[in-house]
Amino acid sequence: MTALLLPAALFLAALLTVLGVPVALVGAWQVDRPKLALTAWFAALVLGGGCAVASVVAAVAAAGEGRPGSWAAWLWAWVGVAGAIAVVGLVSGLSGPMADAERWSLRRLAPIATERLDRGTFTLVRFAHPAPVAIAVPGRRPEIMVSDSLESLLSRGQLQAVLAHEYAHLRGRHGVLMRLAELNAACLPFLPAADRLRRATRLLIELAADDVAARQVGAEQLATALEALADEGGAPGAAERAVRLRGHSQQELPRGLPAALQV
């Protein structure tokens, strides 16, 4: 069975990563350091996936060498390759419908767009809607969509804070991270860690974007904007995020907004 030593060790490393990291990544520090927490979560995802792939590659290599236990290595290799093909097929089958659903939901807003402003790095789209809404739309031509109700609800400074938050989503490629977490959860529905990654990603990208916006416009502007949205029921968790922003022991002086975000 010597042929299985390296593949088994790599598979064990993948298993320990998948099961152990979610246990290690607990505590309030994630709320205080969301960017670091995101990095740790996705580093664990890459490490676990890399070890699993390396285990299959090592099994194929060991089987080809004809060492003792090579039949077991061949079995391991075939199971691993079959699993990889199944995962690729599942990802291919799910990514398209997910993207289509997102495009469809955004396409519903296109007919009620009232203004499109080219801001260089993104397009600011104003649209008529009864709910106070701001949406970052990633892609080759990124957009930030803002409803007229949101502009009526917020002051100029608060609106700029919301724009800074949405722009941070675009700059941080948070849409990609959320898509990866969703696909991971869909491929591994039997693993609690996959669902924890999805839920953690959904929260942490919001907190990370809050921190970027707070550094640009000030925590108070963003906190009051979040409170206004919470009062309107337009942003789940907004009130808690406002409390978090005000609870920072050291609040930096605003660095100022990029010109593209000025309104």
Domain segments of the chain as ranges: 1-111, 114-262
Contact 255, 215 (CB under 8 A): yes
What strands lie across the sheet with 134-137, from one edge to the other? 113-118, 123-127, 143-147, 134-137
Least confident window among 18-32, 55-69, 166-180, 215-229: 55-69
* pLDDT at 77 (0 to 100): 59
* pLDDT at 87 (0 to 100): 56
Identify the residue with better confidence: 54 or 171: 171
pTM of the full structure: 0.81
Identify the residue with better confidence: 259 or 217: 217
Interatomic CA distance for residues 43 and 45, integer angstroms: 5
* pLDDT at 56 (0 to 100): 72
Summarize pLDDT for 28-40 with one digit per residue, the tens.
888 889 999 999 8
pLDDT-derived band at 169, boundaries 50, 70, 90? very high
Q: What percent of the chain has pLDDT over 70?
A: 74
* pLDDT at 129 (0 to 100): 87
* pLDDT of 185 strictly over 90: no
Q: Is 134 helix (H, G, I), strand (E, B) or coil?
A: strand
Other beta carbons less than 10 A from residue 152's beta carbon: 9
DSSP, res 256: -
* pLDDT of 144 strictly over 90: yes
Mean pLDDT of 82-91: 56
